[in-house]
Structure 1
Amino acid sequence: MDAGTKQLADILNGNRVLEVPYYQRSYVWKEEQWERLLSDMEYITSTGQDYFLGSIILKQEQTGISPYDLQTVIDGQQRFTTLALFFKSLCLKTDDLETFEGKFTVRDKKAKTRHIAIRHSRNDKRDFEKVMVLDSDCKLESDVPSNIIDAYNYFHENIDPEKVDVDVLLNHIIFIGISLQAGEDEQAIFDTINSLGVKLTTGELLKNYFFTESTRQEYEHLWMPIFEKDRELANYWDSTINSGRIKRANIDFFFNAYLCIKIQDPSIKVSAEHKVRYRRSVGLFNNYKDLINTYSIDKKDMIWDILEYAQLYHDNINPEIANGEIPGKPGIERINFLIFVLEYTTLVPYILYVLRNVSSEEERNEIFGYIESYVLRRQVCRSDNKNFSDLFGENLILNQILTIDDLRDYLENKSEEQALALPSDGMVRKGFVNSHLPNKRSLAILYLMETALREGKPHATKLYPFDTYSLEHLLPKNWQDNWPMLDGYDKDQRDDLKLCLGNLAMLPAKLNTSISNASWQTKKSGKGKSQGLLFYAADIVTMSDTLSLIAWNEKTIQIRAKWLAEKAIEIWPSYLPEDEEDAADAEDFTFINKVKRNCENHDYTKFSLNGKPATTKNQFVLDVVRAYIEKHPSVTYTELLKVFHEGLCSRGHKHKGLLLSVDAHSKWDNKYKDRRYSVKMNGGKLVSGDGVEFYVNTQWEIAYMHGIIKLAKDEGFTVNAEK
């Protein structure tokens, strides 16, 4: 090994090729580093002083009869790449490509050709060469994000040829150069470099640990297709995500999750002491090495296992979920929302474990739906989640919980006093009134509810990605000027209620401050060119009925909070039996609904069928179904289910569709099931043409009547409505 100062002109001498090895990371410098380098280049030119640009490590390669000197870049890739892009742009601007070619290309005299003096790894090769072969000063476009192209374009736009001189720079950029001979131990060199502070991802360290030059073919066949196939894939693994308060590379995040799964493997028998150490994200690479060496794990077996999990991770885990559409039904997309928007990153090991070991998509989605219920209930109730890491990173995997029944049993057999208990319906109801959550979490809860409530129903406007929305306090934080208090409430009570979920709304645009703090009527209608809630929130389901209220105050906040709570309980069921406290809360909500029905904004519309006296909505729907059977006496129950499908009514755990057979009703474990269907109504039991007895849904709001009315009119029935 030899060390000493070296000028850039000596390193790039027209006969040396610098090769970036396959284990090196892609080019990662950003504008902050480009701006600093450009400033430094201007300083060198103006002063003519030597400028130290850090240390580099090059390893001599045996080239045989090669016409040039080949050296591997162990340390210095980012700087050499940036300098090449900088000098290329500068020489294009000064029409001095001859100088550039003299340093950054090498000549093969025999073949009478020139080659680029810096050979990049597969990920950056195409974009780097695209820049190197330019013959005119122009901006480049890229079909996928590319730091290489971005760096060149930055220099193209910002270099001032009057402030930088190519000859001065080549002779005054200085490195501390360390030269290694071909026979020196590459693994030891790599580990030494890492210990000295070169920031490499766990993936890069493991790649070099698993593969060497002698196993390059295995690397290209196994590792490269999963982690480094192209720039898009490399960008996915290199992207930065938030894990708690720590920002980490996505690939490090994966390797931490995989290790949590691996150490629960009963065949390895990892000790409890080692499990605690290995699950820590600090020193992750060393944890892998220690696990492999301590428990004699075959490297090749682990590689195959890692690659299978990595493919599952790539195919299912989406850190950019906030920028896309979220379905209303349980599934991996909503789990991604929990992981990356609500930052429940501790879910990932168990989610990967389920993806690997549960083959049925239906079963997986049931598990994912239950996890969503569990997490969101605890979020609404502000439960302490400090033990989530143990639950999802160890306990569920160790106990091989891979069915929805086992998961329910594991979580629901804990009493409310236990740290990981599932909150009851009553606790959720209280949470919507009493809990004060950070703005992002409140917005996320409303957004997930909105997606679920919209599922399968037509809407005037589409739901945009989560990042589009902002959170609005309906009763504003600064309420003193325009919002008189109701009798019986004081300032502290109002300030408490204004922060609860019942007072919060998701809007696709932020209201103007003058509108947001104005009176309720102005806030709804807007003023001048500033639009109000009626414009932005008219099609927001979680704002249902709110915009028709004449006043917004302490009472209506609590009414909406409890309405939201009931919707949340439908979306995120617990399967726990309701206790007396829950039942009392449910009765309280029934009372609140009665209060709401007495408000002048409530819809009292009644409907008549074929000239008969007008009836309530539930009686009208029952009459429509009866009239349909009378018109089609041979219609079967299966055919009826297609006509009166569940898409015509609101969906949720309060009922099981528009029609429900007597047999299915008897097996349904729901204490309120006789209220949900026409069991106690006169003539409430109907019979299909094939003899199936059934009931009709009684849960109707005006918003869901249009489908039934259209169906009735299409059948030639006469429908009239009256207030």
Structure 2
Amino acid sequence: MKADTFNAIDRLFAPMQMILKIPVYQRNYDWTETNVRRLLDDIRTVVQDHKPHFIGAIVYMESQNSDLGMPEYLIIDGQQRLTTITLLLQALKDLCGNDDQQAADMIESFLTNKYSPDEYKIKLKPIKSDNVQYEALLNNKPDKIDQDGHVYKNYMVAKKIFKSWIESGIKPMEILTALRQLQVVGISLKKGEDDPQIIFESINSTGVALTNSDLIRNFLLMSDHNQDRLFEEYWLPIEDMLRRNNDNYQLDLFFRQYVIMKSHGTVAERKVYSTFVKLFKENGYTHESALEEIRKYAEIYSAFLHPEETNYSDEIKGYLADLNQLSQTTCYPFLMHVFADFENRVIDEATLGKVLKLITVYLIRRSICNIPTNSLNGLFAYLYSRVFRMPANKFKYYEAINKYLFAQNNKNAVPDDEALKFSLVHGNSYQNQPLCRLLMLDIENGDTKEKLSTNNLSIEHIMPQTLSRSWRQYISDKEHEEYVHTLGNLSITGYNSEMSNKSFEEKKKILKQNSRVQILNEDIVNKDKWTIQDIINRSNRLADILIKKYHLDQVVDPKIVFENVDKIYVSNPDAATGRKPVSFTLEGSNYSIKTFKDITVKLINILDQDDPTRLEKLIGLTWKGDFELSNSNNRLVICHKEDIDDKMEWHYAEIRDGIYVMVGGSATTILHVLKELIDAYDIDENDFSISVRAEQ
């Protein structure tokens, strides 16, 4: 490897026969107008002060093209700047008039190999997806140019700015001279001696930062001798599915979701590439096997983004569209597993539909209740591996996922109907407009085959956001603030003009004319005025429709477990020593826990809820086992705080109203306490068991 500083055009585009090839593992040309304008500002400075300007580093590997016997430069890094320079040259050439023929001829010698076959006529060879546009531009074939692409847009930016310079008196030859003073540090690699992969990853280039998809493409294609075939067969289809409108966002998001799915854990954006490389090495992939798998999952992911283009059932398309509308992408790593199981015939389409409905409705219910989404990344990253850690759960696929979701507590719990009803009636539905639009469409569409779509529909307030005099006659400011954005005061119209703060009579006319919306408005159009009580009544009516629409039946199946476990009983307390509890079962119902202490607290809360009068009667309950905690004679299981020995206080937890239960001590001690509680509540000891992780 050697490095030296030189003028980029004079060295790399010298007026001689040569090829500058952008290898297939390079990213697409994606410099923006901002990047180009910044470079043009620098060139304008060079025009004025005639001093060279440094634009960064170019890494290349020089060889001989055996077919033509001419130098060939493989551009490892720097293609964004080199491609942009050629676009600037072409823009300047197209502005040269008859008096500037010398400049035009010189530019032509920089851009083309005059005496080479057509295939090698143009010196710069971008990757295939860009080369079509690049050649069309240089060969003046406007019918083949994508005017929304970066190649054409940046060419037009340069042409417009150069034209203004020329009109101000700057000659094309002066601009060309300035372009030839753009300097780079050229890092030349020797084939067989230098590792371009390492250099590519470590070099700190100016220009557009490398994305994770850029790095992964480079990793999979750079060092493979079949890189052209792999690019054609795998990478190009992946890009075609996920990269649209010159935007890498979905491609990069896919790779993050793919890495999360493969690693069964959360992965920070900055660690996507390193995690991918680690997975590649640990799982023994080849470049081709990795690309083959990535293409398979890209097809699945593409269906998430564009369900209308798939062959799935209308039901599945509908749920995917709902997730899309709500931007609920955190579930995608889990759904990639599920859709892969469908493609591999592990599950049928009916099961796929049930799982997709479960996940969609779960997320909708959470959104309605305005539950923060920060915990969802972890839930969906681990969900598949935790549900199917026990392979037998694949035979009860939907049921296992359902049971696991309903076993979640705290932030990940499935919101119950009571919480859902409260949020629908009293919550600010308008603040999340994609969700609000979805809710109202689901109310209106019901189970009809011909459904309204979100196209050209706007959310409207019946009682307006700003009260006019006609509305203030019977609605106070306080009432307005409390109810204006609730579900009962909202509707949808297909009109471009808003109903704004028109009178209620005028709004009714608009809603009546919108004849396709009926269920939503049936309790509005026949009213003489719109009161707070009308809003409350309508909120309750619409909420009941949605609760029915988003109903989920909880699966209760004690045979579905999520870990390989052993069961222990209070009749054998010594069996708890050294074991890790995962759940307990009480009279057929299963409850997840993390410690033995958790069992005592959760159990007494369950028992107290079922029989709230008994707890007070059990104050003073003691146990008879060997007491290893201290020399105290305090053996109280349930008591008041004043009855607890000071040395023992930290072994007790308050249940309610100053009543405490013993929760501390070893696992054996806790099982003795649990036995006393079970007996005190007249529960058969065989109806209570604790699941602990199996020793093998």
Instruction: Decide: shared fold, TM above 0.5.
Output: yes
Q: CA offset at residue 310 of structure 1?
A: 2.1
| Residue 305 (structure 2) aligns with | 318
1:209 aligns with 2:219: yes
Is the partner of 1:4 in helix, strand or coil?
strand
CA offsets 1:358-380 (integer angstroms, 9 cap, x no match): 34222211211121211111111
| Residue 130 (structure 1) aligns with | 136
CA offsets 1:243-275 (integer angstroms, 9 cap, x no match): xxxxxx2222112222222224xxxxxxxxxx4
Q: 1:73/1:25 Cα in 2 relative to 1: closer, same or farther (>3 Å)?
A: same
Is the partner of 2:326 in helix, strand or coil?
coil
CA offsets 1:41-76 (integer angstroms, 9 cap, x no match): 455445545443333333222435744321122222
Q: Take 2:480 and 2:252, find their aligned partners in 1: how far apart are those partners?
A: 46
Q: Take 1:91 and 1:304, find their aligned partners in 2: how far apart are those partners?
A: 44
Gaps of 5+ in 1: 241-248, 265-274, 526-531, 578-723
Q: Take 1:25 and 1:153, find their aligned partners in 2: how far apart are those partners?
A: 22
Q: CA offset at residue 293 of structure 1?
A: 4.3
Q: Take 2:446 and 2:219, find their aligned partners in 1: how far apart are those partners?
A: 48
Q: 1:168/1:258 Cα in 2 relative to 1: closer, same or farther (>3 Å)?
A: same
Query: Are the aligned partners of 1:55 and 1:76 in contact in 2 as well (CA < 8 Å)?
Result: yes
| Residue 422 (structure 1) aligns with | 414
TM value normalised by structure 2: 0.68
CA offsets 1:328-382 (integer angstroms, 9 cap, x no match): 96424432442x4322221110111110013422221121112121111111122
Q: Take 2:274 and 2:352, find their aligned partners in 1: how far apart are those partners?
A: 33
| Residue 270 (structure 2) aligns with | 282
Q: Take 2:525 and 2:119, find their aligned partners in 1: how far apart are those partners?
A: 74
Q: Take 2:7 and 2:146, find their aligned partners in 1: how far apart are those partners?
A: 38
Q: CA offset at residue 19 of structure 1?
A: 1.1
The amino acid that maps onto 1:98 is: D
The amino acid that maps onto 1:127 is: Q
Q: Take 1:516 and 1:155, find their aligned partners in 2: how far apart are those partners?
A: 45
Q: 1:92/1:140 Cα in 2 relative to 1: closer, same or farther (>3 Å)?
A: farther
Q: 1:53/1:211 Cα in 2 relative to 1: closer, same or farther (>3 Å)?
A: closer
1:433 aligns with 2:425: yes
| Residue 73 (structure 1) aligns with | 75
Query: Are the aligned partners of 2:20 and 2:125 in contact in 1 as well (CA < 8 Å)?
Result: yes
**Residue number among 293, 303, 308 corresponding to 2:296 in the alignment:** 308
Q: CA offset at residue 38 of structure 1?
A: 4.5
| Residue 171 (structure 1) aligns with | 177
Q: CA offset at residue 392 of structure 1?
A: 1.3
Is the partner of 2:425 in helix, strand or coil?
helix
CA offsets 1:186-206 (integer angstroms, 9 cap, x no match): 112112126888622222322
CA offsets 1:585-606 (integer angstroms, 9 cap, x no match): xxxxxxxxxxxxxxxxxxxxxx
Is the partner of 1:543 in helix, strand or coil?
coil
Query: Are the aligned partners of 2:136 and 2:145 in contact in 1 as well (CA < 8 Å)?
Result: no
| Residue 398 (structure 2) aligns with | 404
CA offsets 1:656-684 (integer angstroms, 9 cap, x no match): xxxxxxxxxxxxxxxxxxxxxxxxxxxxx
Residue pairs, 1:66-145, within 5 angstroms: 66-95=68-97, 96=101, 97-108=104-115, 115-134=121-140, 142=145, 145=148
Is the partner of 2:174 in helix, strand or coil?
helix
Q: Take 2:523 and 2:72, find their aligned partners in 1: how far apart are those partners?
A: 74
The amino acid that maps onto 1:561 is: S
**Residue number among 29, 32, 43 corresponding to 2:31 in the alignment:** 29
Q: Take 2:215 and 2:120, find their aligned partners in 1: how far apart are those partners?
A: 34
Query: Are the aligned partners of 2:430 and 2:485 in contact in 1 as well (CA < 8 Å)?
Result: no
Query: Are the aligned partners of 2:444 and 2:518 in contact in 1 as well (CA < 8 Å)?
Result: no
The amino acid that maps onto 1:504 is: L
Q: CA offset at residue 82 of structure 1?
A: 2.2
| Residue 9 (structure 2) aligns with | 8
Q: How many residues align?
A: 531
Query: Are the aligned partners of 2:237 and 2:295 in contact in 1 as well (CA < 8 Å)?
Result: no
The amino acid that maps onto 1:502 is: G
1:188 aligns with 2:198: yes
**Residue number among 479, 499, 502 corresponding to 2:488 in the alignment:** 502
Residue pairs, 1:335-354, within 5 angstroms: 335-338=320-323, 340-354=324-338
Query: Are the aligned partners of 1:20 and 1:74 in contact in 2 as well (CA < 8 Å)?
Result: yes
Residue pairs, 1:582-601, within 5 angstroms: none
The amino acid that maps onto 2:178 is: H
1:151 aligns with 2:135: no
CA offsets 1:214-251 (integer angstroms, 9 cap, x no match): x342x4444543431498447339635xxxxxxxx222
Q: 1:443/1:504 Cα in 2 relative to 1: closer, same or farther (>3 Å)?
A: farther
CA offsets 1:616-646 (integer angstroms, 9 cap, x no match): xxxxxxxxxxxxxxxxxxxxxxxxxxxxxxx
Q: 1:508/1:48 Cα in 2 relative to 1: closer, same or farther (>3 Å)?
A: farther
Q: 1:319/1:31 Cα in 2 relative to 1: closer, same or farther (>3 Å)?
A: farther
Query: Are the aligned partners of 2:56 and 2:206 in contact in 1 as well (CA < 8 Å)?
Result: no
Q: CA offset at residue 510 of structure 1?
A: 5.0
The amino acid that maps onto 1:419 is: K
The amino acid that maps onto 2:412 is: L
**Residue number among 363, 377, 380 corresponding to 1:389 in the alignment:** 377
1:539 aligns with 2:523: no
Query: Are the aligned partners of 2:149 and 2:246 in contact in 1 as well (CA < 8 Å)?
Result: no
| Residue 571 (structure 1) aligns with | 549
Is the partner of 2:412 in helix, strand or coil?
coil
| Residue 598 (structure 2) aligns with | none
Q: CA offset at residue 493 of structure 1?
A: 3.6
Query: Are the aligned partners of 2:81 and 2:207 in contact in 1 as well (CA < 8 Å)?
Result: no
Residue pairs, 1:256-267, within 5 angstroms: 256-264=256-264
Query: Are the aligned partners of 1:123 and 1:230 in contact in 2 as well (CA < 8 Å)?
Result: no
The amino acid that maps onto 2:365 is: R
Q: CA offset at residue 180 of structure 1?
A: 1.0
CA offsets 1:503-530 (integer angstroms, 9 cap, x no match): 2223334545xx51232123334xxxxx
| Residue 524 (structure 1) aligns with | 508
State, as a whole percentage, how many aligned pairs show the same letter: 20
1:355 aligns with 2:342: no
TM value normalised by structure 1: 0.66
Query: Are the aligned partners of 2:489 and 2:535 in contact in 1 as well (CA < 8 Å)?
Result: yes
CA offsets 1:454-473 (integer angstroms, 9 cap, x no match): 366487xx74545x333322
The amino acid that maps onto 2:543 is: A
Q: Take 1:112 and 1:238, find their aligned partners in 2: how far apart are those partners?
A: 28
Q: 1:208/1:34 Cα in 2 relative to 1: closer, same or farther (>3 Å)?
A: closer
Query: Are the aligned partners of 1:524 and 1:534 in contact in 2 as well (CA < 8 Å)?
Result: yes
Q: 1:395/1:233 Cα in 2 relative to 1: closer, same or farther (>3 Å)?
A: closer
Q: Say what the alpha-carbon RMSD is for the aligned residues.
A: 3.6
Q: Take 2:473 and 2:315, find their aligned partners in 1: how far apart are those partners?
A: 41
The amino acid that maps onto 1:99 is: M
The amino acid that maps onto 1:260 is: I
Q: CA offset at residue 574 of structure 1?
A: 1.7
Q: Take 2:149 and 2:439, find their aligned partners in 1: how far apart are those partners?
A: 33
**Residue number among 247, 251, 272 corresponding to 1:239 in the alignment:** 247
Q: CA offset at residue 30 of structure 1?
A: 2.6
